[in-house]
């Protein structure tokens, strides 16, 4: 059976052997170019690891709702929990320099001019340089071993930073820290896409971002206690040594829990658990992981307008985040607090981040729209930063309240990652898209601390004005992306209709289990009444096709 582009009614399935989108057709979803007589580039034909296992099991498995929930719980325990632990530890180690700054790091190490700013910027320059290696490693190496190598390495580097007594020693340690931490966020984006449905991905992305905010609560407490230690080492040295040793001590637990992929995870050995874990992901239409770089997907990524829109958004989000992350303690210290008060004043920022993240992700999944929520979240940081430039320095409470309102910025980057992750398919394209976003995030994090000028302390008006401009541009970009994704979905509907497929599909991967089950029943009844087998819609789910190539892919607004 072939797909007739001129068909008005859905194609008719006459037997189990018929395939609405068989492999040969998928290779040529783009029709021949009638003018040139040449074939247009179609999808890659190599099935990824998940498709191979499912094919060996007969191609499809039916599982009860109870079994699916049980498998999901095990995935959350063995995948989500170690991700949260790693992300929490990474943020503790990276933030150690800002806690150390409150305890006279600059004075004890004789930092001059903008040298303190560079201690933050070089971390992201290093991450930027290491991105090509990270992207390559995520495709060809087992992700667990790559994550563990980098985790253990950055733990050692953080502990060794305590031995640095001048700018040279500090900057070398920070460069190495950035190199080893460069892969963690891209790795977690890939892991999230490998294990959970698109609706579930939002919650799990927010879960490890909440762990990130938890570091902003626990870190100041730890630093407060360590800051009282004056026996043999200086407070700033104790902070680095303790944070690094803590990460190293917890690494065996992460090694035990974290698997490589759904196709090899040991905790899925029971019965059909592995097949259920893979079958759950079919409706994502994004695959799990292919271990081969596909250059056609690389070129498609860089020709995709979405890639550069995401890049612009992450730059505009990361620039203020980098500035506040490095100078938050010094900003609040400028309100008139001593070192111990200042470090404790950072704790509410973590709580604010957690509360805003949980409310935001609940709203996005309830209303199944993301761009409106993210655009709305750009407004409080603009208001808070503007107030910091206008409120009298004698009004300590007003300044502190303004600072905390601006800290709602903590929700922007996690929600952007959660949103961007849902809108790309194909292993190589997803990795390259994430790497590109991360590059621009790194550039923003490099720029952010540099616009906080030492001569302007403790006001930092230039940095705050730049941050306000970035959030304003981000607001415009988010609304533009929402409109563009809606346009792409309309184009996908026309493409499906031209191929004889149902045009008016809903995205089950962003529904909850009850909603998806009900819609599947309704869809099955409607399509079978027309002689169409609905299971054929997702036959390309593990063919490692990109979102451009797969006609049944739906973009998430």
Per-residue pLDDT reduced to its tens digit, 294-310: 788 889 999 999 999 99
Residue 521 placed within a domain: no
The CATH number given to whatever domain includes residue 334 is 1.20.1250.20
Which DSSP state fits 11? Answer: P
Q: Share the mean pLDDT of the chain.
A: 81
pLDDT for position 487: 95
pLDDT in tens, 20-73: 333 333 333 333 333 334 333 333 333 355 556 656 555 556 667 788 888 899
Residues 326, 98: contact at Cβ < 8 Å?
yes
Residue 422 placed within a domain: yes
Residue 22 placed within a domain: no
Instruction: Return the minimum-mean-pLDDT range out of 81-90, 173-182, 276-285.
Output: 276-285
Sign of CA dihedral 72, 54, 514, 373: positive
Which DSSP state fits 79? Answer: I
Residue 42 placed within a domain: no
Q: How far apart are CA 23 and CA 43, in angstroms?
A: 9
Q: What is the DSSP string of 186-218?
A: HHHHHHHHHHS-HHHHHHHHHHHHHHHHHHHHH
For 194, half-sphere exposure in the C-beta direction (CA atoms, 13 angstrom radius) is 31
pLDDT for position 57: 53
Mean pLDDT value across residues 221-238: 85
pLDDT in tens, 157-182: 999 999 999 999 999 999 999 999 88
Q: How far apart are CA 51 and CA 541, in angstroms?
A: 8
User: How many structural domains comprise the chain?
Assistant: 1
Under the banding of pLDDT at 50, 70 and 90, the label for residue 541 is low
pLDDT for position 35: 36
If residue 279 lies in a helix (H) or strand (E), which one and from where to where? helix 273-279
pLDDT for position 459: 86
Residues 460, 219: contact at Cβ < 8 Å?
no
Q: How far apart are CA 90 and CA 207, in angstroms?
A: 15
Higher pLDDT, 230 or 466: 466
Mean pLDDT value across residues 338-346: 82
Which DSSP state fits 41? Answer: P
Burial class (CB in 10 A: 0-12, 13-18, 19+), 469: middle
pLDDT in tens, 427-447: 788 888 888 898 898 899 889
Mean pLDDT value across residues 264-287: 75
Q: Which of 469, 548, 53 is nearest to 281 (CA)?
A: 53
pLDDT for position 11: 32
Q: How far apart are CA 78 and CA 74, in angstroms?
A: 6
Residue 275 placed within a domain: no
Q: How far apart are CA 355 and CA 408, in angstroms?
A: 9
Residue 553 placed within a domain: no
Mean pLDDT value across residues 534-543: 60
Q: How far apart are CA 442 and CA 318, in angstroms?
A: 7
Q: What is the DSSP string of 495-506?
A: HHHHTTS-SS--
Mean pLDDT value across residues 380-384: 95
Residues 447, 322: contact at Cβ < 8 Å?
yes
Residue 549 placed within a domain: no
Higher pLDDT, 300 or 10: 300
What phi and psi, each to the nearest 5 degrees, are found at residue 368? 55, 40
Task: Rank 174-188, 336-350, 377-391, 491-505 by mean pLDDT and report only the highest.
Answer: 377-391
Which DSSP state fits 15? Answer: S
pLDDT for position 12: 29
Residues 467, 321: contact at Cβ < 8 Å?
no
**Helices 305-333, 115-140: crossing angle, 10 deg rounding:** 140
Residue 18 placed within a domain: no
Under the banding of pLDDT at 50, 70 and 90, the label for residue 13 is very low
Peptide bond into 260 cis (omega under 30): no
Q: How far apart are CA 109 and CA 106, in angstroms?
A: 5
- Burial of 268-307, coded b for 16+ CB within 10 Å and e otherwise, reads beeebbbbbbbbbbbbbbbbbbbeeebebbbebbeebebb
Higher pLDDT, 232 or 356: 356
Give the pTM.
0.72
Characterise 506 by phi-psi region: left (phi > 0), alpha (psi -120 to 50), beta (else).
beta
Residues 483/489/490/493 CA torsion (nearest 10 deg): 180
Q: Is 232's pLDDT higher than 60?
A: yes
Residues spanned by the domain of 443 = 78-262+281-488
Instruction: Return the minimum-mean-pLDDT range out of 67-76, 243-252, 310-319, 515-524.
Output: 515-524
Under the banding of pLDDT at 50, 70 and 90, the label for residue 152 is very high
pLDDT for position 228: 83
Q: How far apart are CA 25 and CA 1, in angstroms?
A: 10
Under the banding of pLDDT at 50, 70 and 90, the label for residue 346 is confident
pLDDT for position 88: 93
Tell me the percentage of the chain whose pLDDT exceeds 70.
84
């Amino acid at each position: 059976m072939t797909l007739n582009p001129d068909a008005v009614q859905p194609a008719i399935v006459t037997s189990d052997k018929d395939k609405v989108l068989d492999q040969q057709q998928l290779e040529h979803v783009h029709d021949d170019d009638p003018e040139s007589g040449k074939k247009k580039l179609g999808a890659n034909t190599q099935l990824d690891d998940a498709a191979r296992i499912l094919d060996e099991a007969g191609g499809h498995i039916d599982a009860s709702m109870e079994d699916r929930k049980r498998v999901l719980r095990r995935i959350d325990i063995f995948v989500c929990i170690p991700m949260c632990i790693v992300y929490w530890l990474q943020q503790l180690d990276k933030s150690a320099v800002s806690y150390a700054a409150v305890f006279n790091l600059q004075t004890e190490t004789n930092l001059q001019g903008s040298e303190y700013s560079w201690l933050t910027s070089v971390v992201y320059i290093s991450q930027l340089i290491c991105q090509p290696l990270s992207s390559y490693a995520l495709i060809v190496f087992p992700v667990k071993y790559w994550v563990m190598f980098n985790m253990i390495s950055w733990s050692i580097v953080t502990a060794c930073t305590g031995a640095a007594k001048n700018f040279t020693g500090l900057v070398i340690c920070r460069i190495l820290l950035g190199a080893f931490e460069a892969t963690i966020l891209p790795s977690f984006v890939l892991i999230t896409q490998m294990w959970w449905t698109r609706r579930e991905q939002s919650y799990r992305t927010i879960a490890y971002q909440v762990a990130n905010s938890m570091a902003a609560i626990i870190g100041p407490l730890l630093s407060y206690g360590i800051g009282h230690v004056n026996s043999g080492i200086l407070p700033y040295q104790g902070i680095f040594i303790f944070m690094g040793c803590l990460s190293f001590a917890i690494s065996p637990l992460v090694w035990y829990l974290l698997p490589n992929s759904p196709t090899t995870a040991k905790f899925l050995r029971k019965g059909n658990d592995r097949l259920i874990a893979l079958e759950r992901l079919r409706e994502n239409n994004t695959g799990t992981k292919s271990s081969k770089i596909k250059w056609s997907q690389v070129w498609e990524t860089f020709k995709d307008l979405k890639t550069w829109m995401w890049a612009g958004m992450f730059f505009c989000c990361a620039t203020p985040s980098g500035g506040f992350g490095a100078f938050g303690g010094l900003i609040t210290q400028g309100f008139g607090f001593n070192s111990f008060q200042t470090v404790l004043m950072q704790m509410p920022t973590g709580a604010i981040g957690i509360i805003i993240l949980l409310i935001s992700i609940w709203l996005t999944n309830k209303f199944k729209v993301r761009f409106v929520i993210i655009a709305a979240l750009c407004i409080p940081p603009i208001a808070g930063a503007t107030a910091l430039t206008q409120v009298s320095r004698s009004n300590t409470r007003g300044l502190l309240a303004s600072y905390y309102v601006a800290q709602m910025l903590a929700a922007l980057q996690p929600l952007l990652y959660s949103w961007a992750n849902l809108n790309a398919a194909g292993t190589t394209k997803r990795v390259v898209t994430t790497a590109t976003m991360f590059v621009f995030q790194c550039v923003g994090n490099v720029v952010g601390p540099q616009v906080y000028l030492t001569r302007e302390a403790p006001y930092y008006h230039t940095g705050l004005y730049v941050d306000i401009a970035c959030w304003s541009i981000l607001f415009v970009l988010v609304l533009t992306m929402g409109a563009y994704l809606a346009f792409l979905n309309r184009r996908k509907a026309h493409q499906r209709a031209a191929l004889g497929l149902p045009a008016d599909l809903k995205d089950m991967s962003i529904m909850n289990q009850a909603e998806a089950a009900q819609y599947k029943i309704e869809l099955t009844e409607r399509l079978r009444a027309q002689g169409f087998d609905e299971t054929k819609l997702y036959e390309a789910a593990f063919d490692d096709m990109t979102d451009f190539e797969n006609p049944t892919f739906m973009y998430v607004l």
